[in-house]
Structure 1
């Protein structure tokens, strides 16, 4: 295979210059390839870092879940029953709800206790039912309607 050693002006080129030009061209191409390869390496290195971080997060999550699954749960302390006020009226009200097994209004409780059905007496009884609801002994299911909480 014959190598063309002519200069751009058509005259025979100096063999030393011709070789240096070929070396320069080859060096330029290799430098471009190095830069492209380095860019690819940088991109892949960044991606590798991201993937490694995600794997590490999964490992930490796995360790945490295994630890929590193996950990002996502390025995749950039983909830203390809410304290019923000492007044005898409260002691009379609660059995009415136990026997009824349903939601009751103040008027229903007054009738069950054979109390007078005056407005004032029903208002006083309603205040006591609200107090029991505030303490968690009764539950107010809707305005004026009370029941015992479900276990």
Structure 2
């Protein structure tokens, strides 16, 4: 007949085993939760970008008859926005910078600062243009835009600079 101490040790070992299995399950669930939260974040950014593009605000696109033509420019933005979100770059994910990126995604070619101001519904006065120039230079530093010629900007993914 086992002694009381042996019985307690056996129960303790069994409880320790159950606790270890539960910790492993918790770790696995935590990893899965992190993956799902990252996916939710990417989906939220994509939805917000699409909402912004389709909104009736300044610089909004005209109603589109061919949905494929409307979505294709956004494919250039998706990797940029996902990378900015993953790196925690709140500047690039801000509404002002998203409007700038949408203007570049919708443009058939490179843009000048004045063109971006007009596309974003800003004035084309010198103070607006200079403010926009600093934003565009910031995006060039982050390798999101490329300055193909002095004062002429395009998405890096389109210029082959990436």
TM-score, normalised relative to structure 2: 0.41
Higher relative helix content: 2
Q: Indicate the structure (1 or 2) with the bigger Cα radius of gyration.
A: 1
TM-score between the two structures when normalised by the length of structure 1: 0.44
